[in-house]
Structure 1
Amino acid sequence: MAKQLHVEFVAAEEKIWSGEAAMLVARTTEGELGVLPGHAPLLGQLAEPSEVRVNLADGTRRVYEVAGGFLSVTGEGVTVLAESASLVTAN
């Protein structure tokens, strides 16, 4: 089985989604960023408005519209801390 990326997606008021993913793509103030398992640690500010795409191992994708926040990548996985987020697509 391929290595997975643990993702925690949290908004100011609630936990949005948590699970294992193959890849996460987010638009930061520095540009679009793709995160795979084993990515180097970093902290990025999400662009406003922005979109975060979570690609799951089974080929499905979850797409969220976000307003403000940060993306943190550590050895444990990825945490998205958004001011607000809403699910746009889950397929």
Structure 2
Amino acid sequence: MASSKLQVSVVAADHEVWSGQASMVVAKTVEGEIGILPGHEPMLAVLAEGQVRVTTDNGQKITADASDGFLSVENNTVTVVAGNASLVK
């Protein structure tokens, strides 16, 4: 049975933007927008300039502007590495 949570890290070149557990991540890639849920197949994607939206495991919405990087998914771990990233307030 797949875990019901994702471990998510959003990092910029020089700092960590956000990390924690989540139920869903949505990001804009060069191939289009992608949604990641627990149990997602491993993948690597190139980020397009846009927002990374995280729904935490308690329902809170976290949004970060990100560009120039990639998104990796493996074993319910989502890592977003961006050249530039910042939380949207």
Give TM-score scaled by structure 1 length. 0.90
Aligned length: 87
Q: Encode CA deviations 1:15-66: one digit per residue, 9 max, x unaligned.
A: 1111100000001000100000110000000012x11000012221000011
Which residue number corresponds to residue 87 of structure 2?
87
Runs of 4+ more than 3 Å apart? none
After superposing the two structures, state which structure 1 stretch, 80-89 or 20-29, moved more: 80-89
Which residue number corresponds to residue 54 of structure 1?
54
Q: What is the CA-CA distance between 1:69 and the residue it aligns to?
A: 0.5
Q: Map residues 62-73 of structure 1 onto 2, 5 A cutoff.
A: 62-73=62-73
Task: Please tell me the residue identity of whatever aligns with 1:78.
Answer: V
Aligned-pair Cα RMSD in Å: 1.2
